[in-house]
Structure 1
Amino acid sequence: MERWSGVLKIPLDASTSRNYYRVAASLCLSSSSGTLAVPSANAIFFHGDRVQDTGNPVIERLYDLQKVAEIIVSKFGNSVNAWVVEASVFDEPFAIYKDFVPSVNQWGAPKSYLPTGFPASSSIVSLLSSCLQEEGKEVCLIDQFASVHHCPRTFVLGFSKGGVVINQLMSEISILDTNCAETSSAIVEEPMSQHEKIQIIPASKESFLNSISQVHYIDVGLNSSGAYITDHNVVQRISQRLSRGADSLRIVIHGTPRQWCDKQRDWICKEKDELVRLLEAETENSGGKLQVHERLYFSGRLPDLQMHFEIIDSLDVS
């Protein structure tokens, strides 16, 4: 399957936003027509704090948005669309995802993960829609022979500081009504025929949150508390949604000694352990539909910054 790849500079809302996000995209193309094809899933990766001029080629390669998009495709398969999002605002190196987590402080650390208003899911839908509009200038949006398809699954991945977006999404998933109809489904109209439609991305916060089937925490960590969500009520409500009929949710927590063995920031490991405990305690209550996996990488090495980025290359998503 052929692909379209590029790095776009996109406003969250073209009419109101002054902040621009850099988003690397690697999208499936139809082999017959070269137009965008229906992906098996959308994999959305939120990057961490900015890295520049480290002198370490490994770190700088794995910060590169387009390279990370290629890695994500290699992990999940050539039929996925990969999106790699960099924060729009930085305080020196510190990424600030304030459109997704409104409670963050000046360094991007969260004060809370309140789901009110669904800021993360609403922002993601808006950002991906803006990306598709921009990409449509370079490639036809869909195959003229495409038919209506179900909305693809979504995999969300948060690396380092990008984990705050994952925590916010977990909070928003927990209050979504299980019976919420997926109105405003992700449909893009084919320009050559008004009768042919194709679903590429979710087009509402409800359909987006309902489409999430995998959540990956990737060596997340902060200089203050809040790296992992540890609210029992959030995990319990997610479990209850699953038991009432929502689709299964797989949560994988990946880490390295860089974060999990940092004695000066021991809250990171404590929060990770608490989240794993809460998730495992709810597995049975969810009817087995809540799945949790914990994976440690580079356990035989001393902690360093390079391994923090190398985990992206070594990621096991099986």
Structure 2
Amino acid sequence: MDRWTGVVYVPLSRGGPLFRVAASLLLSPAKTLAVPRVNAILFTGDRVRGTGDPVIERLSDAAHLAGVLAGKLPGEANAWVVDAARFAGPFAVYRELVPTVDAAGDPKGYDPTGFPAAAGVANILARSIGEIQNQVPGLSAKDSAGNQHPPSYHPPARTIILGFSKGGVVVNQLVTELSRWGASGSTNQAAAADVPRPAAAGPGPPPHPTQNDLLLLGAPTRSSDDLLSSISELHYVDAGLNRAGAYVADRAVIGRIREHVVRAGDKSLRFALHGTPRQWCDPSRPWIREEKDAMVQVLADEARRSEGRLVLSEKLYFEGRPRSLLMHFEVLEAMDI
């Protein structure tokens, strides 16, 4: 199938900082936005500039990464790549999604109260779809005859979450929120996302998508509940920080997630940890390997009690090569998802 690839800038609230969102979206034969079976959302890390390495420069570009990610996904999948809305110099600061981060974007812990990451990600997708349709009016949710399908026309799409480098803090926040959500009866506690409303009829740009548009496009855009219930995989892609907090190894958090997927009975949840010697074998930051190993142990223990519902995979890439910044970015092309 053909694809639309481009970049939009969207806030979570009026006047708020802008997230740079790159997307590679399926197109139907009529060149309208098609409905995916999977939405993969990758959160990037700190800015790296002036290296002079064309590979690093290319893999630092969100639009290029959206194409790389789309190429790794089977069949009918949309790929989204999200940069932080704030930076402190080179440091990504995901404060809108992880309120506990400090001025450099490092977490002081992870608090699921209010489900900020889940509601925020749903909001980002909703606003991005609206902005794409505003910029490219032909990419509507309607077929060539102008007819709109009912929301139940397609099954809900799965969501794959990936966090690269500093972007792993968003994955950790979502893990803690998923644990609270699963233990609290799911829909009773989820916060509504601030979904854009249709603009008034008349001259001017096309309106933002309606709720039916968003449902038709298969994106988890209505609420934190919508996002959390759709997550099927969580990927850590060479995650690492300059302080503790790169991985979640809290047995209670993982245990509640295992209980939830077993209780649900109709889905599984996969944790995948991808790493390179750059992060996992850094003698100056031993806590990264220690936290990763601790999380793997907890996940392995809980997976054995999950009736096959909780799945764990771990892979070290470029083993035996000297640690380098280049391998840190090359893993984005090498990772097996």
What's the TM-score once normalised by structure 2's chain length? 0.87
Report whether the alignment pairs 1:238 with 2:244: no
Check conservation: 2:37, 2:156, Cα contact below 8 A: no
Counterpart AA for 1:102: P
> Partners of 1:23 and 1:120 in 2: how far apart?
16
Partner of 1:120: 117
Partner of 1:104: 101
1:74-108 residue CA offsets vs partner (Å, 9 max, x unmatched): 10135211110000111110000001110101110
Check conservation: 2:34, 2:217, Cα contact below 8 A: no
Alignment of 1:144-159 (within 5 A): 144=147, 146-147=149-150, 148=152, 149-159=154-164
Partner of 1:284: 304
Check conservation: 1:110, 1:226, Cα contact below 8 A: yes
Counterpart AA for 2:6: G
Structure 2: state its 5+ residue gaps. Answer: 199-206
Check conservation: 1:46, 1:159, Cα contact below 8 A: yes
Tell me the CA shift for residue 242 of structure 1: 1.1
Give the secondary structure class of the aligned counterpart of 1:243: helix
Counterpart AA for 1:25: A
Partner of 2:172: 167
Counterpart AA for 2:92: A
> Mean Cα displacement is larger for which, 175-184 or 100-109?
175-184
Q: Evaluate the alpha carbon distance shift between residue 227 and residue 194 of structure 1 in structure 2; reply closer, same or farther with a 3 A threshold.
A: closer
> Partners of 1:161 and 1:194 in 2: how far apart?
32
Alignment of 1:296-315 (within 5 A): 296-315=316-335
Check conservation: 1:232, 1:278, Cα contact below 8 A: yes
Counterpart AA for 1:168: Q
Check conservation: 1:152, 1:211, Cα contact below 8 A: yes
Partner of 1:21: 19
Give the secondary structure class of the aligned counterpart of 1:117: coil
Partner of 1:55: 52
Check conservation: 1:28, 1:78, Cα contact below 8 A: no
Give the secondary structure class of the aligned counterpart of 1:244: helix
> Partners of 2:186 and 2:327 in 1: how far apart?
41
What's the TM-score once normalised by structure 1's chain length? 0.92
Counterpart AA for 1:291: V
Check conservation: 1:25, 1:84, Cα contact below 8 A: yes
Give the secondary structure class of the aligned counterpart of 1:9: strand
> Mean Cα displacement is larger for which, 154-163 or 126-135?
126-135
Partner of 2:201: none
> Partners of 1:87 and 1:235 in 2: how far apart?
26
Which runs of at least 4 in structure 1 moved beyond 6 Å after TM superposition? 182-186, 193-197
> Partners of 1:78 and 1:10 in 2: how far apart?
28
1:181-223 residue CA offsets vs partner (Å, 9 max, x unmatched): 599899x99x9x9999614211111121010001110000000
Tell me the CA shift for residue 298 of structure 1: 0.2
Partner of 2:4: 4
Check conservation: 2:37, 2:218, Cα contact below 8 A: no
Check conservation: 1:37, 1:142, Cα contact below 8 A: no
Q: Which of 233, 236, 252 in structure 2 is aligned with 1:214? A: 233
Q: How well do the aligned residues superpose, as a CA RMSD in angstroms? A: 2.4
Partner of 2:202: none
**What is the aligned length?**
312
Q: Evaluate the alpha carbon distance shift between residue 62 and residue 212 of structure 1 in structure 2; reply closer, same or farther with a 3 A threshold.
A: same
Tell me the CA shift for residue 19 of structure 1: 0.3
> Partners of 2:216 and 2:240 in 1: how far apart?
38
